[in-house]
Amino acid sequence: MAPAFNTLRFHLGRLGWVGAAGAVLIVGSLAYDAGVMRPRAAALEEQLIRNAQARRAAEALRAQAATEADAGVAARPPLAPAAAAALRRLFDAADKAGLELTQGEYRLTEVKDAPLRRYQLSLPVAGGYPEIRAFVAQALNADPALALTAIQLRREQIENPELEVLLNFTLYLEPGA
């Protein structure tokens, strides 16, 4: 062991104290790479694989939920005539006010302790304030079973005359209607 130590000492002596410090730093960085960085890289690779698997599983669940939702829509009974007539009046009021109802969220629920069904409508609308106000007034006047439960107004910039509005209506129906 003494000859190896003497050889190492000879070479370090030739490098000087700056070279010896550099050699120690090189050996330390190699040890750090082997002991810390490579295990972390392996753990990162495993985590990326698990993330990809989780992403595929989530996409499969979304696809399955969409398929089940499509099957549920097909299995759902058709809209009651009273609800269809009320929706037709609502869409007519929007047309008369010059607004277009392109999409909406519709939910039918039973009211506990009352012989009523509640049809909740959430309708996003874009237009000027007078048109939206005229639409709401005309819709509420046209159907006494319709109630405005919430209204959210949003304007991108103060000088913009167009409003983005979310109207929440509730239509109350009898169970047989």
Q: What is the pLDDT along the chain (177 residues), one digit of tens a residue?
A: 688 888 878 877 888 888 878 888 999 999 999 999 999 988 889 998 988 888 888 888 888 877 766 665 555 555 667 778 888 888 888 889 888 888 888 888 776 777 778 888 898 998 888 899 999 999 999 888 889 999 998 888 888 888 888 999 998 887 665
Same domain, 111 and 149: yes
Helix 81-96 / helix 129-142 crossing angle, nearest 10 deg? 150
Same domain, 92 and 108: yes
Same domain, 71 and 87: no
- Domain span including residue 91: 81-173
- The last residue of a domain, from among 37, 60, 76: 76
pTM over 0.75: no
Helix (H, G, I), strand (E, B) or coil at 64: helix
Please provide the size of the chain in residues. 177
Same domain, 91 and 168: yes
> What's residue 31's pLDDT?
93
